[in-house]
């Protein structure tokens, strides 16, 4: 009888072992995959090897594509490549900036990938240009000058200008010497995709918005055709986190007096933290018989509105006006160094507060930011937090926070608006229906 040793063989492999069968001169090879014994004469004889014959034969793993090759994903019907050293897939685009689709377009995908490899992200080579020819860097430079003038006269925020400087300088490193007439949408999309750190759709949206603003400015003021017209931005997805009453109390325990007052006013007024609330001065405060009102100018919308403030905010405002009286132009809400709160300073302080409270390890609270105060105000207004449970309308909320009714509805109404949700409950027979008025009988 032949004695076969099958222990230690990994399932699914065609690993071979030798053992003696009969005399030492006769060698049998145990082939686990076939479940048979092959003699030296070349003949096959079936032989039971433990449970090897009862197992499903495996398949040797083979790489579908070589490293650095373009590959097609059936689920999306798009072509991708994988960044070296990562597992991140990056879509491939054609000359018009459209994703390459269809398994039959392998050659187009390989050509797009070749551009990526040759140009370290399809960085276009700029041909020699005449001095009068307009290039991408010139468009970016003139828009940045416009932004600096806007910051000087107060029509644009410093945050927008700083973001535009950073984004457009990075774009100029990629294709600044390229003539505007040769710029394609695919260049912008590839420029965004080669930044491995730009993972959020919001970052992609901001980058495209700044680039479009620069080329739209050139089209309006210099009659230069916009080659990026029609370039779509990712859909806006607002992060709707709202502070609970308990979280608000915890927040104040980890802040100093100046940050406490700033966040308290942001939660109770819903103003944009840095382009509205941080600019409030004593000259913007108005006393009325019904209470205190603020005149708010937004550098984002370039509009001014007057809003009433709650009694606790009015009390805080009167106290701060003693340190920054009318006519001085000093902001009411200032840092410990006496300067107005800015985005960089405010964000850094809030990150430190999250770390102190351990919120950076919480999957929900780690997303809190200064802008969460504005969302908290919207949530409380729509849920009737200060009005015995009677939520306000979308139109009222839009006027208070300086949004259009459509934006307020898209951001907050669908999620928190009672006036939107109540008819839906009534439609399925669960909501509260108004009792019909009965006519009184004449006496």
Question: Quick check: 147 pLDDT over 70?
Answer: yes
pTM of full prediction above 0.75: no
Q: Say what the pLDDT of residue 59 is.
A: 56
What's the CA gap between 107 and 70, in Å, rounded? 10
Element (H, E) at 434: none
Burial string for 102-115 (b: 16+ CB within 10 Å, else e) reads eeebeebbeebbeb
CB 420 within 8 A of CB 412: no
CB 296 within 8 A of CB 305: yes
**Cβ atoms within 10 Å of 355's Cβ, excluding its own:** 13
What's the CA gap between 280 and 296, in Å, rounded? 7
Give tens-digit pLDDT for 44-66: 444 444 444 445 555 555 555 55
Q: What would the CATH number be for the domain defined by 245-424?
A: 1.10.443.10
Sorting pLDDT into bands at 50, 70 and 90, what band is 365?
Answer: very high
Beta-strand relationship, 71-73 and 78-82: antiparallel
Spans of all domains in the chain: 1-62, 71-118, 136-222, 245-424
Weakest mean pLDDT among 14-23, 98-107, 328-337: 14-23
Q: Say what the pLDDT of residue 221 is.
A: 92
Task: Write the DSSP string, 100-169.
Answer: PBSTT-HHHHHHHHHHHHHTTTT-PPPPP--TTS-BHHHHHHHHHHHHHHHHHHTSS-HHHHHHHHHHHH
Q: Say what the pLDDT of residue 34 is.
A: 40
What's the CA gap between 156 and 378, in Å, rounded? 25
Instruction: Give the residue from 44, 47, 57, 46 showing the smallest Cα distance to 10.
Output: 57
CA neighbours within 13 Å on the CB side: how many for 103?
A: 3
Weakest mean pLDDT among 15-19, 212-216, 262-266, 372-376: 15-19
């Amino acid at each position: 009888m032949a004695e076969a040793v099958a222990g230690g063989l990994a399932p699914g492999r065609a690993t071979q072992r030798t053992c003696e069968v009969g005399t030492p001169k006769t060698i049998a090879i145990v082939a686990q995959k076939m479940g048979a014994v092959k003699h030296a004469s070349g003949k096959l004889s079936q032989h039971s090897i433990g449970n090897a014959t009862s197992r499903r034969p495996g398949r040797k793993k083979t790489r579908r594509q070589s490293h650095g090759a373009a590959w097609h994903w059936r689920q999306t019907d798009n072509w991708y490549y994988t960044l070296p050293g990562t597992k991140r897939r990056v879509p491939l685009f054609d000359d018009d900036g459209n994703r390459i689709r269809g398994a039959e377009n392998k050659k187009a995908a390989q050509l797009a990938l070749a551009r990526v490899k040759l140009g370290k992200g399809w960085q276009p080579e700029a041909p020699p240009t005449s001095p009068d020819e307009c290039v991408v860097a010139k468009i970016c430079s003139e828009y940045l000058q416009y932004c600096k003038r806007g910051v000087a006269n107060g029509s644009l925020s410093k945050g927008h200008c700083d973001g535009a400087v950073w984004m457009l300088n990075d774009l100029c490193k990629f294709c600044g010497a390229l003539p505007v007439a040769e710029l394609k949408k695919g260049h912008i999309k590839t420029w965004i995709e080669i930044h491995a750190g730009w993972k959020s759709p919001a970052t992609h949206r901001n980058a495209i918005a700044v680039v479009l603003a620069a080329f739209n400015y050139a089209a309006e003021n210099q009659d230069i055709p916009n080659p990026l017209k029609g370039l779509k931005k990712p859909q806006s997805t607002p992060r709707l986190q709202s502070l609970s009453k308990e979280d608000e109390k915890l927040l104040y325990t980890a802040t100093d007096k100046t940050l406490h007052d700033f966040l308290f006013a942001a939660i109770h007024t819903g103003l944009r933290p840095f382009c509205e609330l941080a600019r409030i001065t004593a000259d913007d405060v108005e006393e009325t018989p019904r209470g205190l009102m603020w005149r708010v100018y937004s550098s984002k919308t370039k509009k001014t509105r007057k809003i009433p403030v709650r009694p606790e905010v009015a009390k805080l405002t009167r106290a701060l006006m003693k340190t920054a009286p009318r006519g001085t132009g000093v902001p009411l809400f200032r840092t410990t160094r006496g300067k107005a709160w800015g985005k960089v300073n405010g964000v850094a302080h809030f990150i430190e507060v999250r770390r102190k409270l351990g919120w950076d390890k919480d999957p929900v609270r780690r997303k809190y930011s200064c802008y969460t105060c504005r969302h908290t105000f919207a949530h409380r207004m729509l849920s009737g937090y200060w009005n015995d449970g009677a939520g306000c309308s979308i139109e009222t909320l839009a006027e208070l926070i300086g949004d259009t009714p459509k934006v307020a509805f898209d951001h907050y109404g669908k999620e928190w608006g009672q006036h939107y949700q109540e008819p839906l409950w009534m439609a399925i027979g669960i909501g509260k229906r108004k009792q019909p008025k009965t006519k009184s009988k004449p006496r």
